């Protein structure tokens, strides 16, 4: 652990984090979306209350990672940990906060019996593929298919 990250604390998501996470998303995506985040956090907390995490730096929420363990989707029967939504405050990126969030989430997935962790990366989103590659993720044999429903 470097001195720069010594004051980082990873803890489970709580419903009182809604305001901070909405603010972080606004910083990252440029849009204030409290209703979206209320629904989203509610979903993750109901599904798997201990899976999703926030990172605090000196007591302030600076990052979050939402995910859960599921099985049976896409023909994948084994319990699989899914990392689905994450964000780190642009002002504190590059300080291993994302790495720590992922490490804690993977520990939780293992404890829940998951043997694999999966995520989907949008190639148009800068840095996400590099982040997961740095964490040891590799391209998987699942190919996303989509079709416009216009
Ligand atoms: C991806 C993200 C979570 C990384 O957070 P972070 O705290 O800066 O990441 P870390 O400092 O823990 O980096 C971990 C590793 O990933 C690499 N990495 C992280 N971001 C990277 C980038 N943009 N380009 C290349 N590599 C990157 C780091 O170099 C580091 O590798 P190392 O440990 O081998 O040196 C953060 O950039 C982010 O929130 N991006 C926006 C996410 C988003 O759009 N979310 C909404 C949809 S899900």
Give the per-residue pLDDT at 150: 87
Residues 81/67, Cβ–Cβ less than 8 Å: yes
128 close to ligand 1 (CB < 6 Angstrom): yes
96 lines ligand 1 (CB under 6 A): yes
**pLDDT-based confidence at residue 1 (cuts at 50, 70, 90):** very low
Distance of alpha carbon 125 from the chain centroid: 15
Contact 54, 10 (CB under 8 A): yes
Is the domain 7-134 a CATH 3.40.50.2000 member?
no
Burial class (CB in 10 A: 0-12, 13-18, 19+), 74: exposed
- Ligand 1 contacts CB of residue 30 (under 6 A): no
Ligand 1 centroid – CA 141 distance (Å): 23
Atom of ligand 1 nearest to the CA of 95: 11
CA–CA gap between residue 101 and residue 64 (Å, rounded): 7
Q: Looking at the CA of residue 126, tell me the nearest atom of ligand 1.
A: 23
User: Over the stretch 25-58, which tens digit does the pLDDT of each residue have?
Assistant: 999 999 999 999 999 999 999 999 999 999 999 9
Q: Which is higher by pLDDT, 98 or 75?
A: 98
Residue nearest to atom 39 of ligand 1 (CA): 87
- Cβ of 67 closer than 6 Å to ligand 1, yes or no, is no
Provide the token pair at 50: 């201990």
């Amino acid at each position: 652990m470097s001195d720069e990250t010594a004051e980082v604390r990873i803890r489970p998501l709580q419903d009182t984090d809604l305001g901070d996470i909405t603010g972080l998303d606004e910083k990252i995506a440029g849009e204030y979306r409290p209703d979206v985040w209320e629904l989203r956090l509610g979903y993750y907390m109901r599904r798997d209350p201990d899976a999703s995490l926030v990172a605090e730096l000196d007591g302030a929420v600076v990052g979050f990672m939402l995910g859960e363990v599921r099985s049976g989707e896409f023909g994948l029967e084994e319990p699989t940990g899914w990392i689905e939504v994450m964000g780190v405050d642009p002002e504190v990126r590059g300080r291993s906060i994302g790495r720590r969030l992922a490490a804690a989430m993977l520990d939780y997935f293992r404890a829940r019996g998951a043997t694999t962790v999966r995520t989907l990366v949008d190639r148009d989103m800068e840095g996400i593929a590099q982040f997961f590659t740095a964490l040891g993720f590799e391209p998987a044999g699942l190919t996303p298919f989509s079709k416009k429903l216009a």
